[in-house]
């Protein structure tokens, strides 16, 4: 029996096909052709599979592409994740192991869209990222701008892609060009991979665009493998663990829709920051040793859970509903809640900046509706009326505390800096549409 990863010859009723055997998918045998494309062959049609060599030793050749004058230049910075992964044929798991050139060879369409430069910044799963990685990325993006590229694509693991897109949105002041993060839910060597459409759509959007200068995310719009959306970097989130349309815009519309088949990129709303001829972005970095935490509210909490954050510069409370925490003693079973209130007060007194967000993800915090919420405002919990996701609030708080004195950071937390807080009217308009 031929195993995935081996070079094989597949005999069907009509032809013989040579390539590397991939893990099979439902009723298909999948083979990677030497062109880089995966081909699914109906199992019914397969007469025999012969192993040619145990290990694929033939290295793909990557001829240097000639620069095409009429095409824009895009740099792809690779950070790892599923989009840059393939199946480890020994373990069956997915490992991050693609070289950038290999990705380019897999998606030859990219070469017709732009002159592509590509390099590896890191090769990691995104749950392992730290603020230091954001700083490296920001510098790499700036380097590319100085070199005169028209836009940057960052390939990224999807788990924390929305944290990175938010971080870069705050960190890159006066960004003069688009920076689009693209991930994938299925690795690039799977027949059902979303990597190609996400990456190609990101490149097509940058090439078609002459104005857009935001940090954004490009992922599948729905489960059909046809369109992608360009999502706002500070207002999107991974909302599904496995679906290809896992990323959604939160409390706003996506910026744009890309239909690569029809060669269309249409804006769904305006108000984005515009491209400029500037050669440099000002980087406002993250403090790498800063301690900021997130606490998720739930029934039966203990004050010691909050106390664990003493000494932290900031704490995001991921509250329930409109922004509530279990802080009221209402009967003899709720004595601990009064201690929680005391503990939050202590944290603030000792210098931790505490902000409120909501687990509902959609909608805004409104701590004025119920009395306990008003008490939280009174003791200094920030974030009222903001509709930032907990992740964006976490990144914003961390970035503010990295770059501004505490009092200034507190003042700025509730201000809309880069589109992370919906303007009241815009938000209500969206709400009515749903």
CA distance 366 to 49: 63
The residue from 32, 145, 235, 238 that is catalytic is 238
Q: Specify whether 158 is catalytic.
A: yes
The residue from 142, 150, 159, 245 that is catalytic is 159
Please say which residue, 245 or 387, places its beta carbon nearer to ligand GLU: 245
The residue from 73, 75, 82, 234 that is catalytic is 82
76: which strand partners?
118, 153
User: Which residues of this protein are in contact with ligand GLU, per CB under 6 A?
Assistant: 81-82, 125-127, 157-159, 183, 185
Q: How far is the CB of 358 from ligand GLU (least distance, A)?
A: 24
Q: How far is the CB of 395 from ligand GLU (least distance, A)?
A: 16
Please say which residue, 125 or 312, places its beta carbon nearer to ligand GLU: 125
The residue from 158, 275, 281, 392 that is catalytic is 158
Please say which residue, 72 or 157, places its beta carbon nearer to ligand GLU: 157
DSSP-assigned letter for residue 152? E
Q: With 0-12 CB in 10 A as exposed, 13-18 as middle and 19+ as buried, what is 86?
A: buried
Q: How far is the CB of 194 from ligand GLU (least distance, A)?
A: 10
Query: String of b and e for 299-325 (b: at least 16 CB within 10 Å)?
Result: eebebeebeebeebbbbbbbbbebbbb
What's CA 244's distance to the chain center, in Å? Answer: 13
Q: How far is the CB of 44 from ligand GLU (least distance, A)?
A: 32
- For 376, list phi and psi in degrees, rounded to 5: -65, -40
Please say which residue, 176 or 191, places its beta carbon nearer to ligand GLU: 191
CA distance 406 to 16: 68
DSSP-assigned letter for residue 67? P
Q: Specify whether 91 is catalytic.
A: no
Q: Specify whether 112 is catalytic.
A: no
Please say which residue, 94 or 327, places its beta carbon nearer to ligand GLU: 94
Q: Specify whether 349 is catalytic.
A: no
Please give the residue whose beta carbon sits closest to ligand GLU in the complex. Answer: 157
- Give, in order, the Cα–Cα distances in Å from 4 to each of 16, 85, 102, 184: 18, 15, 18, 21
Return the SS3 of 210: coil
Q: How far is the CB of 157 from ligand GLU (least distance, A)?
A: 2
Instruction: Write out the catalytic residue numbers.
Output: 82, 158-159, 238
């Amino acid at each position: 029996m031929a195993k995935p990863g081996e070079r094989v010859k597949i005999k069907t009723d009509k032809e013989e096909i040579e390539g590397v055997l991939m893990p099979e998918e439902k009723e298909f045998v999948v083979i990677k052709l030497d062109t880089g494309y995966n081909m699914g062959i109906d199992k019914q049609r397969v007469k025999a599979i012969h192993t040619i060599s145990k290990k694929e030793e033939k290295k793909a050749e990557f001829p240097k592409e000639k620069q095409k004058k009429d095409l824009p230049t895009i740099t792809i910075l690779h950070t790892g994740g599923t989009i840059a992964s393939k199946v480890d044929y020994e373990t069956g798991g997915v490992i991050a192991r693609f070289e950038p050139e290999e990705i380019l060879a897999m998606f030859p369409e990219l070469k017709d869209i732009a002159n592509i430069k590509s390099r590896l910044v890191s090769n990691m799963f995104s749950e392992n990222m730290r603020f230091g990685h954001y700083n490296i990325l920001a510098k790499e993006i700036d380097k590319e701008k100085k070199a005169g590229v028209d836009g940057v694509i960052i390939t990224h693991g999807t788990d924390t892609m929305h944290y990175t897109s938010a971080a870069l949105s705050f960190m890159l002041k006066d960004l003069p060009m688009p920076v689009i993060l693209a991930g994938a839910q299925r690795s690039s060597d799977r027949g059902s991979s979303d990597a190609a459409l996400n990456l190609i759509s990101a490149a097509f959007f940058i090439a078609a665009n002459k104005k857009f200068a935001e940090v954004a995310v490009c992922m599948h719009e729905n489960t059909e493998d046809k369109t992608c959306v360009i999502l706002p970097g500070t207002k999107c989130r991974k909302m599904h663990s496995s679906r290809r349309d896992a990323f959604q815009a939160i409390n706003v519309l996506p910026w744009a829709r890309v239909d690569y088949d029809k060669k269309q990129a249409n804006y769904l709303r305006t108000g984005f920051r515009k491209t400029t001829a500037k050669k440099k972005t000002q980087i406002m970095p993250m403090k790498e040793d800063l301690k900021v935490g997130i606490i998720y509210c739930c029934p039966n909490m203990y004050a010691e859970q909050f106390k664990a954050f003493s000494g932290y510069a900031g704490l995001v409370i991921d509250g329930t509903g409109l922004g509530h925490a279990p802080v009221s003693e209402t009967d003899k079973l709720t004595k601990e809640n009064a201690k929680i209130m005391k503990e939050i007060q202590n944290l603030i007194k000792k210098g931790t900046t505490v902000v409120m967000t909501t687990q509902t993800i959609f909608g805004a915090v409104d701590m004025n509706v119920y009395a306990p919420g008003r008490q939280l405002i009174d003791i200094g919990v920030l974030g009222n009326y903001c509709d930032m996701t907990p992740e964006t609030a976490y990144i914003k708080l961390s970035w503010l505390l990295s770059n501004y004195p505490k009092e200034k950071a507190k003042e700025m937390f509730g201000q809309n800096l880069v589109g992370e807080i919906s303007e009241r009217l815009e938000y209500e308009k969206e709400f009515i549409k749903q």
